[in-house]
Chains A and B, each alone.
Chain A
Amino acid sequence: MEKLVELRGIVKRFPGVVANDRVDFELRRGEVHALLGENGAGKTTLMNILYGLYKPDEGEIYVRGKRVELRSPRDAISLGIGMVHQNFRLVESHTVLENIILGLREDGLRIDFEKHRRRIIELSERYGWKIDPMARIWQLSAGEKQQVELLKILYRGAEILILDEPTSVLTVQETRRLFEALRRMAREGKGIIFITHKLNEVMEVSDRVTVMRRGRVVITKETRETTKAELANYMIGRPIVFGQKKASAQLGAVVLKVIDLKVLGDRGYPAVNGVSLEVRRGEILGIAGVSGNGQVELAEAIAGLRKPLAGRILLNGVDATGMDAGKMIELGVAYIPPEGNKLGIVPGFRVVDNLFLKAYRYPPYSNKLLLNWGKMLEKARELIEEFGIVTPSALSRASSLSGGNIQRLILARELSGIIGGIPRLIVAAYPTKGLDIGATEFVHDLLLRYKEMGSGIIFISEDLEELLLLSDRIAVMSGGRIRGVLAREEADAEKIGLLMSEAVVQAG
């Protein structure tokens, strides 16, 4: 079979790390080739090289058998290579059409909108998509945005497609539709590289799989000749245990009761539109849904960071509606914000400062006037030990920590109970997003430990697998409302996906 792409001996060094170490990779015509590995294994770096974003330090790139040099994405595009980045690169306020023809050097100065409109409709129908070329990007769902990204590439006649973690923002149904389209593209003779760290997806969609670990290729195999367990072993270098690890705990009194809560979003429209829910001691309430459907606004309202428009929040029976974050902290609410490296730390501060962002104003860490650095440092060293934060010292800047360690720092601050006892309520918004398997397991175990100790936990995630793994109940959120609450025993990916998409139909 014809080789569309061949990478030979690719080496790419960044200051202090070798991101790609003599990597060989090959893509054939008509295949979906999964590129599997943990975060930081070098998958994205390798693909950025193939897309002309990075220059390799060593190695050769062959496209359709010819040696090529790629200096920029423009070179790659002209060779028929297209890439869908993990974060969509779309201009939200522009139309689908404008996004697709952006940078296209086809007709003259003036844009022939009608011609492009027809061709876009034709192309999208071929893959069973219904996209209105004149719709604005912000009106589209995540699945549709991804279709626009693919259309952007296909419109330029690309036959080498790189997809970087394409399912991370999709519902189950949207994912299935994407896989169908990818299979069709493969049948048409295109080659598709599918970057992922999810084993299920590798098994479901790919013909072959290449596993990377720490910048090197571990193995390339036919997918049907391998198993999930074997791939996991290659990927992290040790076996992992699949299945549920639910800690058994008695459900206690109601910790949090939210009644008909409405919260404004940043755009000035209600992002949370009448949510009611209840969390008990020792319970993990999972909140499923595609991000951007009001989950973060809900979490922020409960944490006291956003004033509710209407409705009530009761903590241990006390009306806490509209209290600020300081009051909420004193009532025992711990908040783990999304995008911890942006919202959860002050990057320019030291580790110890970040650990005490909340507790510094309480004794014994300060009296009315002065901070007690000795006490803080002592406690900080304890926490670094207990939570396994890898840092040169408590006095290093937080910005020098890796993503996983930043998350450990945040967890240490929020959960350790440096202010009187364990938290009564933990609101964790996407606490494992962007973490590798090791760090993710750590977060999971920690949440289960606090559950056993009697904290009520709201666990917001997009990853159904981990939701099913940890939650006692799962609430499905979409369009600012809870569309249904499933007990763990009756919940599965299928039902959750249906609840998500039903609402989409209603909304749009």
Chain B
Amino acid sequence: MIEWIESVLGLTIQVGTVYLLASLGEIYAERSGVLNLGLEGIMVMGAALSFIFTLAYGHLVAILVSVVTGILMSLILAVMAVYMRLNQTVTGLALTMLGLGLSGFLASPEVRKVMLLALNPLLPESLLAIQEAPKLPEIHVPLLSGIPIIGCFFRQNVLVYVSYIAAPLMWFILFKTRPGLSLRSVGENPAAADAMGINVFRVRCVATMISGGFAGLAGAYLFLGFQPFWREGLTAGKGFIALSLVILSTWNPLRAILGAYLFGGVEVIQYRLQLFGLGALSPYLLTMLPYLVAIAALVAVSIESVRKRIGVPASLGIPYSREE
């Protein structure tokens, strides 16, 4: 029994980390007033690039490339949505489509081969055609990993540990420091922040780039830490689930931990139920579960009275300009 719990819990953490990393960054963007709907596209780009760069240069470089790519992609969004004041929904979705298309192109066998040879001409022929990359190794924390049940928290790869540290740290920055206060104020009432001498555009731009960086990291983790077999569009809507998780967490990094593992748990249990044969009804019904929760969250947040009660950043999605 304990073994069964441990395996479910361990998997829950592994799945949940994808959502946690992605939503942590998104919380910052949305707290500053920018809705980054490009999450899905940035994640899938991060996954594709981490695939290619792991084969060429190894894990560390691959992760860095994914993060930097995420930052650059979100910079496109920042320029369009913050400085040019275009519609955030449209630009964000455009970014997602760009990522989905571009990642599929870059990781397709032919293009990948050319890229790999260009990156590292010494690469053995056998690596040029494979569809998978080495998974990130698990690191067992001495002593802690030996504890029954919760020990599985400490038998994870490095990016999971990064998420453990990032969530409380980002909560602290957001609620206890000056930059965090500026960021929250900009998302609530940019005119007030502007009047107090805060550069609204710069804060929003930086927050958007942070969300991009984390989305890139989430993509790299999804591929290298969870399922290192490439297929096109492997994020399968996980970016959108992360977006709804941001809402469920009411824009709080600590609550995002719970939410992420909740979504992770739902997904894992759904696999397990299928194994038990319960899914014989229709496996699709169960696969649908996380998406169903995501849609419910998105519907809820679009209801005006709910919005006000759960504390949506008041200027979320609204471009700022001084003249209006």
Q: CB within 8 Å of B: which residues of A?
A: 53, 72-74, 77, 83, 85, 89-94, 98-99, 101-105, 109-111, 152, 266-268
The residue from A72, A85, A102, A109 contacting B185, defined by CB atoms under 8 A apart? A102
Known contacts A111-B181, A268-B309; A103 and B197 CB within 8 A of each other: yes
Residues of B within 8 A of A103 (CB): 182, 193, 196-198
CA distance A379 to B261 in the complex (A): 66
CA distance A244 to B65 in the complex (A): 76
For residue A110, give the distance in angstroms from its CB to the closest CB of chain B.
6
CA distance A103 to B308 in the complex (A): 25
The residue from B176, B193, B309 contacting A102, defined by CB atoms under 8 A apart? B193
Confirm or deny: B126 has a beta carbon within 8 angstroms of a beta carbon on chain A: no
CA distance A99 to B198 in the complex (A): 13
Residues of A within 8 A of B309 (CB): 267-268
Known contacts A102-B181, A103-B198, A266-B308; A92 and B193 CB within 8 A of each other: no
The residue from A77, A92, A104, A111 contacting B176, defined by CB atoms under 8 A apart? A111
For residue A115, give the distance in angstroms from its CB to the closest CB of chain B.
13
In contact, B182 and A93 (Cβ under 8 angstroms): no
Find residues 178-206 in chain B having any chain A CB closer than 8 Å to their own CB: 178-179, 181-182, 184-185, 188-189, 191-198
In contact, A91 and B188 (Cβ under 8 angstroms): yes
Residues of B within 8 A of A104 (CB): 178, 196
Given A98-B185, A268-B308, 6 extra CB contacts under 8 A: A53-B322, A73-B194, A91-B189, A94-B188, A101-B181, A267-B309
The residue from A83, A92, A98, A101 contacting B195, defined by CB atoms under 8 A apart? A83
CA distance A268 to B310 in the complex (A): 12
CA distance A372 to B304 in the complex (A): 39
Most buried by A among B181, B184, B196, B308: B196
Residues of B within 8 A of A73 (CB): 194-197
CA distance A152 to B185 in the complex (A): 14
Query: Across the two chains, which residue of chain B brings its CB closest to A101?
Result: B181
CA distance A91 to B194 in the complex (A): 12
Residues of A within 8 A of B305 (CB): 266-268
Known contacts A91-B189, A99-B192, A102-B196; A267 and B308 CB within 8 A of each other: yes
For residue B314, give the distance in angstroms from its CB to the closest CB of chain A.
7
Most buried by B among A53, A72, A93, A266: A93
Residues of B within 8 A of A74 (CB): 197
The residue from B191, B197, B304, B311 contacting A93, defined by CB atoms under 8 A apart? B311
In contact, A110 and B311 (Cβ under 8 angstroms): no
Residues of A within 8 A of B178 (CB): 101, 104-105, 109-111
Q: List 19 A-B contacts (CB under 8 A).
A: A85-B195, A89-B189, A90-B192, A93-B188, A94-B181, A98-B185, A99-B185, A101-B178, A101-B181, A103-B193, A103-B196, A104-B178, A104-B196, A109-B178, A110-B178, A111-B177, A266-B304, A266-B305, A267-B308
Query: Across the two chains, which residue of chain A brings its CB closest to B189?
Result: A91
Query: Across the two chains, which residue of chain B brings its CB closest to A106?
Result: B178
Query: Across the two chains, which residue of chain B brings its CB closest to A84?
Result: B195
Residues of B within 8 A of A152 (CB): 196
In contact, A102 and B304 (Cβ under 8 angstroms): no
For residue A379, give the distance in angstroms from its CB to the closest CB of chain B.
34
For residue B67, give the distance in angstroms from its CB to the closest CB of chain A.
23
The residue from A89, A94, A101 contacting B184, defined by CB atoms under 8 A apart? A94
Known contacts A83-B195, A91-B192, A111-B176; A98 and B181 CB within 8 A of each other: yes
Residues of A within 8 A of B184 (CB): 91, 94
Query: Across the two chains, which residue of chain A brings its CB closest to B191?
Result: A89
CA distance A313 to B322 in the complex (A): 43
What is the 8 Å Cβ interface bit string for chain B, positions 296-317, against chain A (1 contact, 0 not)?
0000000011001101001000
Residues of B within 8 A of A94 (CB): 181, 184-185, 188
Residues of A within 8 A of B177 (CB): 109-111
Query: Across the two chains, which residue of chain B brings its CB closest to A264?
Result: B305
Query: Across the two chains, which residue of chain A brings its CB closest to B172?
Result: A110
For residue A163, give the distance in angstroms from its CB to the closest CB of chain B.
14
CA distance A85 to B194 in the complex (A): 12
Find residues 138-181 in chain B having any chain A CB closer than 8 Å to their own CB: 176-179, 181
Known contacts A72-B197, A111-B178; A102 and B311 CB within 8 A of each other: no
In contact, A102 and B192 (Cβ under 8 angstroms): yes
Find residues 63-107 in chain B having any chain A CB closer than 8 Å to their own CB: none
CA distance A266 to B195 in the complex (A): 27
For residue B299, give the distance in angstroms from its CB to the closest CB of chain A.
16
Residues of B within 8 A of A91 (CB): 184-185, 188-189, 192-193
In contact, A92 and B185 (Cβ under 8 angstroms): no
CA distance A74 to B177 in the complex (A): 20
Residues of A within 8 A of B197 (CB): 72-74, 77, 103
CA distance A105 to B179 in the complex (A): 10
CA distance A152 to B189 in the complex (A): 15
Query: Across the two chains, which residue of chain A brings its CB closest to B315?
Result: A91
In contact, B181 and A92 (Cβ under 8 angstroms): no
CA distance A99 to B193 in the complex (A): 9
CA distance A268 to B304 in the complex (A): 9
For residue A171, give the distance in angstroms from its CB to the closest CB of chain B.
24
Query: Across the two chains, which residue of chain B brings its CB closest to A97?
Result: B181
In contact, B314 and A93 (Cβ under 8 angstroms): yes
CA distance A83 to B185 in the complex (A): 18
CA distance A92 to B322 in the complex (A): 19
Residues of A within 8 A of B195 (CB): 73, 83, 85, 89
CA distance A77 to B195 in the complex (A): 10
Known contacts A74-B197, A103-B197; A90 and B189 CB within 8 A of each other: yes
Known contacts A85-B195, A99-B192, A103-B198; A109 and B179 CB within 8 A of each other: yes
Residues of B within 8 A of A99 (CB): 185, 192
CA distance A99 to B195 in the complex (A): 11
CA distance A91 to B308 in the complex (A): 14
CA distance A402 to B185 in the complex (A): 32
Residues of B within 8 A of A110 (CB): 176-178
CA distance A366 to B304 in the complex (A): 36
In contact, B196 and A92 (Cβ under 8 angstroms): no
What is the 8 Å Cβ interface bit string for chain B, positions 205-224, against chain A (1 contact, 0 not)?
00000000000000000000
Residues of A within 8 A of B191 (CB): 89
Residues of B within 8 A of A102 (CB): 181-182, 185, 192-193, 196, 198
For residue A405, give the distance in angstroms from its CB to the closest CB of chain B.
20
Residues of A within 8 A of B322 (CB): 53
What is the 8 Å Cβ interface bit string for chain B, positions 108-152, against chain A (1 contact, 0 not)?
000000000000000000000000000000000000000000000
Residues of A within 8 A of B185 (CB): 91, 94, 98-99, 102
Most buried by A among B177, B181, B193, B304: B181
CA distance A270 to B4 in the complex (A): 51
CA distance A103 to B183 in the complex (A): 10
Query: Across the two chains, which residue of chain A brings its CB closest to B184?
Result: A94
For residue B177, give the distance in angstroms from its CB to the closest CB of chain A.
5
Query: Across the two chains, which residue of chain B brings its CB closest to A100?
Result: B196
For residue B284, give the distance in angstroms from its CB to the closest CB of chain A.
36
For residue B3, give the distance in angstroms from its CB to the closest CB of chain A.
44
Residues of A within 8 A of B181 (CB): 94, 98, 101-102, 111
CA distance A109 to B178 in the complex (A): 6
For residue A216, give the distance in angstroms from its CB to the closest CB of chain B.
24
For residue B197, give the distance in angstroms from its CB to the closest CB of chain A.
4
For residue B155, give the distance in angstroms from its CB to the closest CB of chain A.
34
CA distance A152 to B192 in the complex (A): 11
Top 8 A-B residue pairs of the complex, sorted by shortest distance between their CB atoms: A103-B196, A74-B197, A268-B305, A89-B192, A91-B188, A89-B195, A91-B189, A109-B177
